[in-house]
Amino acid sequence: MYRNNMSGSVNMIFSDMVGNNQVYSALSLNGEIYDFGGQVAYINQRGKIKFGAALSHIPYLYGSMFISSDTITIKDEPIPVVNLGIDYMRMFEDNISLFASYPLSQTRRFEANMSSSWYYYRIDRHTYYYLLDGFNIGGKREKLDAPRGSNYQQASFAYVSDNSYFGMTAPMQGSRSRYQIEKYFGSLDIYTTLIDYRHYFRIRPVSLAFRFYNYAMYGKDAESGIIPPFYLGYPWLIRGYENIGYSGNNFMTGETFNLSRLSGSRIMVANAEVRLPFTGPQRLALIKSNLLFTDLNLFFDAGIAWNRGSKIEFIHDLSKGVDGSYRFPVFSTGASIRINLFGYLVLEPYYAFPFQNGGFRNGEFGLNFIPGW
């Protein structure tokens, strides 16, 4: 089973002549029409303390998979089948927030944020029926009852540093980091921690880029499902896992990739890239161009998602495919080209080989609409 996928986004910034007042807006679509998201923010940069406010509607997608025996009726005849069920769960967040930042230097600052969020949910179940020999005979899609919505307040505090030098589509030299803690208030006992560190080495004619990313949710309600788990399969984290394939009878023997393994209350990601400025200014790129600014990239992505009590193993064992308590790291590699569209938008078409979803036999084409990390 392969699903079609569409994604895209538009970002705009409006500012006065000196940049003291800015309005930022973003619209995005990733997957289906339910995955439409948007944000608008105002930032006042007149004084030393920068402050602003934002409104947003953001969908979060995650999923789970199960396999069971079933019987369906075709032409009044009962037929035993294997039922492969995939639940796509969406949490929608409507948020209003106030934020401020205090600079310590040109490259370091503190950030604080207070917000109130309203959450509501949608669950879609895709059911696929297979004969005992693995032949697919159809399926159905249905909307399930979802949990009731809720409202929570959050506060976060972060230390941010950035001394990187940006190239044509991505940073080329220096480092970036963000260390953040966030607390949920109300009836939830949840707090999150974020570690995001990136380093760039310029070794002409290429740049080497490395990222370590750890996002974790703790507390009594961290795995209650009220706040959805983090998801590894977004292409800006790990490329190549947007479409999970199930074919033949590998799922009947348990030897299949379990979609649930991409979600967890804690995720860890590591990325490495070789970035080659391809077309652009003569002092940077291999081919001089005054209009077309592009980078060629070779990448390697790795990550793991887990929950409290998960059994983590570093050797990927497909025979434990349907047992979601076992967690393994996932990897992908491939190539991409980032294209700077006249300073308005950066496109990244890529071709990735997801090692735990077919490997080199199952190359995956995708498209990112964000600058390089």
d(CA 283, CA 25): 33
Residue 181 pLDDT class (50, 70, 90 cuts): very high
CB 70 within 8 A of CB 83: yes
Selected residue with higher pLDDT from 188 and 297:
297
For 105, residues 6+ apart whose C-beta sits below 8 A from its C-beta are none
Q: What is the mean pLDDT of residues 32-44?
A: 86
Residue 10 pLDDT class (50, 70, 90 cuts): confident
CB 156 within 8 A of CB 113: yes
DSSP string, 245-283: ---TTTTTTT-S--GGGGEESEEEEEEEEEEEEEEE-TT
Per-residue pLDDT at 317 exceeds 70 = no
3-state secondary structure of 185: strand
d(CA 199, CA 208): 8
d(CA 271, CA 232): 13
Domain 40-50+61-368, CATH class in plain words? mainly beta
Compute the Cα dihedral for 239, 245, 249, 252 and give only its sign. Answer: positive
The structural domains of the chain, with segments of one domain joined by +, span: 40-50+61-368
Q: What is the mean pLDDT of residues 289-302?
A: 95
CA geometry: angle 212, 313, 192, nearest 5 deg: 45
Per-residue pLDDT at 280 exceeds 80 = yes
Per-residue pLDDT at 79 exceeds 60 = yes
d(CA 74, CA 238): 42
Selected residue with higher pLDDT from 179 and 189:
179
* pLDDT tens per residue, range 87-130: 888 889 899 999 999 999 999 999 999 999 888 889 999 888 88
d(CA 337, CA 30): 20
Residue 256 pLDDT class (50, 70, 90 cuts): low
What does the mean pLDDT of the chain come to?
A: 86
Cα-based torsion angle of the residue sequence 265, 227, 147, 325 in order, rounded to the nearest 10 degrees:
0
In single-letter form, the type of residue at position 169 comes to T
CB 162 within 8 A of CB 173: no
